[in-house]
Amino acid sequence: MRKSPYNATVTGKIMLTPDLMILRIRTDESRDEFKAGQFTTIGLLASEHRSPNSVIPLDSINPDSLIQRMYSIASAKNETRDFEFYISQVKSGQLTPRLFNLSQGSRIWVDDKIQGIFNLNETPKDCNIVMVATGTGLAPYISFLRSHVMEHKEIKLAVIHGAAYPWDLGYWSELTFIKNAFSNFYYFPTLLKPDETWTGLTGYIQKHLDAGILEMVGIDVDPCKTHFYLCGNPKMVESVTEFLERHGYSKHCTEKPGALHVEEY
């Protein structure tokens, strides 16, 4: 009999909608401490069942193969055994329908390595931090805030989160709590498909940046004063990048530091 590749157990699964969940996983062995905002790879055997509300993809896959995908870690950087992920189901995808079929106690594979340069370590301590996300692109910011919010009392921090419906605003309670607890933290959720109960922002993130939503709370769109983080839908990343480039921003990379940090999914 072949040895199982699994090295971790599902400890929690919170379904926010049928296609959006928070997944908690405990690894059998601790990982090294990581930087908030980094990602790891998780996987399941192709022989695992898919969720009932998924669509069978056209391409077949060997049932013995381990399907692996990368996910940003939402938990704090010092939680090296208990990992939280914020995941949306791609109905015709290979891994997410299998992840959505897991339950508490299910076994899963988690890579030993935690990677990525999307973190706060190279952002000057006196610069404001604006975190822009659509959908599950919020995950690395939850890790940023859980790990670092207490250290950044002298600067302003903002999360701008775009989603379709109110129920797609994962971590709304946690972000609202942080907003109420820290006067230097601003939370701007914006919806494309609000219902009649929604009294907040609507429409694309770009529209609110153009309208000066950040300047209204004293955050200058200036690369010397404010670092931007973008994560999520490629169209949002493209349009906000264009907006920031017009304000003198350049993309951060290992060779050339910049005030615009982008995580591409």
Stretch that binds ligand FAD, among 21-29, 90-98, 169-177, 247-255 (CB under 6 A): 90-98
Query: 139, 213, 259, 260: which one contacts ligand FAD (CB under 6 A)?
Result: 139
The distance of closest approach from Cβ of residue 257 to ligand FAD in the complex, given in angstroms and rounded to an integer, is 20
- Judged by CB under 6 A, the chain residues 184 through 223 that form the site for ligand FAD are none
Should residue 109 be labelled a site residue for ligand FAD when binding is judged by CB under 6 A? no
Residue given tokens 């157990």 in the structure block: 9
Should residue 182 be labelled a site residue for ligand FAD when binding is judged by CB under 6 A? no
- Give the span between the Cα atoms of 54 and 16, in whole angstroms: 16
Query: 40, 106, 136, 147: which one contacts ligand FAD (CB under 6 A)?
Result: 136
Query: 27, 96, 119, 143: which one contacts ligand FAD (CB under 6 A)?
Result: 96
Residue given tokens 């971790």 in the structure block: 8
Stretch that binds ligand FAD, among 82-90, 171-179, 206-214, 250-258 (CB under 6 A): 82-90
Q: Angle 58-62-66 (CA atoms, 0-180°, nearest 5)?
A: 110
Q: In this structure, what DSSP letter does residue 118 have? A: -
- Give the span between the Cα atoms of 58 and 101, in whole angstroms: 20
- Give the span between the Cα atoms of 260 and 4, in whole angstroms: 42
The distance of closest approach from Cβ of residue 6 to ligand FAD in the complex, given in angstroms and rounded to an integer, is 17
- Give the span between the Cα atoms of 194 and 204, in whole angstroms: 12
Backbone φ/ψ region at 217: left (φ over 0), alpha (ψ -120 to 50), beta: alpha
Stretch that binds ligand FAD, among 87-95, 142-150, 154-162, 171-179 (CB under 6 A): 87-95
Q: Are 164 and 191 in contact (CB under 8 A)?
A: yes
- Site residues (vs ligand FAD, CB under 6 A): 39, 69-72, 85-88, 90, 92-96, 136, 139, 263, 265
